[in-house]
């Protein structure tokens, strides 16, 4: 069985669980989402730039190209203004987690895309930065959420069963990525 299919199934299940409490299986979730006019929305701000986004990026099974471009620009490497296309699966995990927590506050994004140069510079001052970080591929985000603890965010993201989730209690953030399913720090 393909990991991408498992990730998609996990995400759709997470979205369905937040929309229909009575949906007992992900197979019913697929049917529900197909015809329900489903939308996905992401809300974030960046303390580094003062920018914020609040947008629908997916409607009825389709990613909105312009919204994804804006998300990618927002999640750019702010140290050198380099932009890469952010993997939509990362946004799906963040949005599903947000929805599971029934949060209204936007995420505080600490880090989205990181260029190789930025990642290397961060590695020189912190042993917690991976050499081949998924941030370099546009497949990860480090997030906080006002009104929710690191443990609450971590549990919501991990329950999506759709990628990597790291809990950094000492630094008060949760790492979410669309790589292999794994957890750490919990």
| pLDDT, tens digit, 9 for 90 and up, residues 110-166 | 999 999 999 999 888 887 788 889 999 999 999 999 999 999 999 999 999 999 999
Taken as a whole, the chain contains a residue count of: 186
Strands 173-177 and 164-168: antiparallel
Total number of domains in the chain: 1
pLDDT tier for residue 7 given thresholds of 50, 70 and 90: low
The residue assigned the tokens 């990730």 is 7
Mean pLDDT, rounded, for 55-70: 96
DSSP 29-40: HHHHHHHTT-EE
pLDDT digits (tens, 9 = 90+) for 43-57: 999 999 999 999 999
Look at residue 123 in the predicted model and tell me its pLDDT. Answer: 87
13 — pLDDT class (breaks 50, 70, 90) = low
Residue 38 Cα distances to 59, 77, 91, 92, 119, angstroms: 6, 31, 15, 13, 36
Q: How far apart are CA 146 and CA 67, in angstroms?
A: 24
Tell me: pLDDT of 175 over 50.
Answer: yes
Task: Name every residue whose Cβ is closer than 8 Å to that of residue 4 and which is 6 or more positions away in sequence.
Answer: none
pTM (2 decimals)?
0.80
**What is the domain-level CATH number for residue 64?**
3.30.1380.10
What is the distance between the alpha carbons of residues 163 and 51, in angstroms, rounded to a whole number?
A: 27
Burial class (CB in 10 A: 0-12, 13-18, 19+), 82: middle
Please give the residue range of the domain that contains residue 114: 3-184
| SS3 state of residue 129 | coil
Tokens 């290397």 correspond to what residue?
Answer: 120
């Amino acid at each position: 069985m393909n990991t991408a299919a498992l990730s998609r199934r996990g995400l759709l299940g997470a979205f369905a669980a937040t929309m229909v409490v009575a949906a007992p299986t992900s197979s019913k979730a697929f049917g529900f989402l197909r015809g329900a006019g489903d939308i996905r929305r992401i809300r974030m701000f960046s303390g580094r730039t003062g920018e914020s986004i609040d947008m629908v990026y997916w409607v009825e099974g389709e990613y909105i190209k312009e919204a994804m471009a804006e998300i990618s620009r927002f999640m750019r490497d702010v140290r050198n203004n380099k932009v890469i296309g952010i993997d939509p699966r990362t946004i799906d995990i963040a949005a599903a987690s947000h929805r599971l927590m029934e949060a209204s506050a936007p995420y505080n994004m600490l880090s989205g895309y990181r260029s190789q140069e930025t990642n290397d510079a961060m590695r020189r001052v912190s042993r917690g930065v991976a050499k081949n970080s998924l941030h370099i591929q546009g497949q990860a985000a480090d997030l906080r959420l006002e009104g929710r603890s690191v443990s609450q965010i971590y549990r919501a993201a991990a329950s999506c069963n759709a990628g990597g989730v790291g809990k950094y209690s000492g630094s008060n953030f949760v790492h979410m990525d669309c790589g292999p399913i794994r957890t750490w720090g919990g």
